[in-house]
Amino acid sequence: MEKNEIKKIIEALLFSSSSPISLKEIRNFFEEENISIKIIEESINEIQDKYINSGVMLKKVSTGFRFQVSEDCNEWVSKFYPEKPQKYSRALMETLALIIYKQPITRTEIESVRGVSVSSNIIKTLLEREWIKILGYKDVPGKPAIFGTTKEFLNSHNLVSLSQLPKLDDIIELTEQEKRQLGLLETTEIDEKSTNAETDKIEEYNQENIH
């Protein structure tokens, strides 16, 4: 089979699929035709190049390749379709953030960080959207579900893996003195000479609190 034909077929497959197609699926499909993985990879690269200056582009996401509207055309497409995209509440986004960064996680664990209960609707919405899934059930009384993110979450954010997500902020490091003040350090030595800004601040703080 000629490479040009292979390219055409892969193109047709990608355009007619409702979900991304993986390299492996394409390879399996051409198995009978005895087409090397190298030829397939080359073909995909060439298709990618072909669409460089088009209204659509070939994109690699977590579960394979898919065509999507090219970056500079998204604005026009959104203009063509007047329906507003779904907006998600802050509560939902915070819940999602916790599931992303602390997975596997239970609802109780989410609640303990957020300080409020998580409504069932939020979990339901995330599950229906297929951004999260139940990974299993924790072996404690009540058998709470353990949640994690899905490949669909990555796909719907143009991501290949979770490592592409922004890193969590580090907790602000406390100074030695602050730690001691907060009882987070076990040292009992007090640096008597410390009369710097920190001390002043703490003293000020103490005064504020004592009155």
Whether 143 and 106 have beta carbons less than 8 Å apart is answered as: no
- The answer to the question of residue 70 lying near a second copy (CB under 8 A) is yes
Distances (CA, A) of 125 to 70, 93, 101, 120: 28, 11, 19, 9
Task: Please report, as residue ranges, which positions from 71 to 110 form the binding site for a second copy (by CB under 8 A).
Answer: 72-73, 76-77, 79-81
Given another protein, a second copy, none, residue 98, with its beta carbon under 5 to 8 Å by kind, binds: another protein
Given a second copy, another protein, none, residue 115, with its beta carbon under 5 to 8 Å by kind, binds: another protein
Residue 6: both structure tokens together: 């292979």
- The answer to the question of residue 35 lying near a second copy (CB under 8 A) is no
Which of 94, 104, 133, 138 is close enough to bind another protein by CB under 8 A? 94
- The answer to the question of residue 13 lying near a second copy (CB under 8 A) is yes
Pick 55 or 205: Cβ nearer a second copy: 55
Written as one string, the DSSP assignment of the chain is: --HHHHHHHHHHHHHH-SS-B-HHHHHHHTGGGT--HHHHHHHHHHHHHHTTTSSEEEEEETTEEEEEE-GGGHHHHHHHS-SPPPP--HHHHHHHHHHHHH-SEEHHHHHHHHSSPPPHHHHHHHHHTTSEEEEEE-SSTT--EEEEE-HHHHHTTT-S-GGGSPPPPPPPPPPHHHHHHHT--------TT--SHHHHHHHHHHHHHH-
Which of 34, 120, 163, 209 is close enough to bind another protein by CB under 8 A? 209
Residue 19 CA to residue 156 CA, distance in Å, equals 11
- The answer to the question of residue 55 lying near a second copy (CB under 8 A) is yes
- The answer to the question of residue 201 lying near a second copy (CB under 8 A) is no
- The answer to the question of residue 18 lying near another protein (CB under 8 A) is yes
Pick 73 or 202: Cβ nearer a second copy: 73
- The answer to the question of residue 88 lying near another protein (CB under 8 A) is yes
Pick 31 or 169: Cβ nearer a second copy: 31
Task: Please report, as residue ranges, which positions from 162 to 191 form the binding site for another protein (by CB under 8 A).
Answer: 165-169, 171-172, 174, 178, 180-184, 186, 188
Block residue for tokens 């979990």: 123
Size of the site for a second copy (CB under 8 A): 26
- The answer to the question of residue 9 lying near a second copy (CB under 8 A) is yes
- Per CB under 8 A, residues contacting a second copy are 4, 7-16, 29, 53-56, 67, 69-70, 72-73, 76-77, 79-81
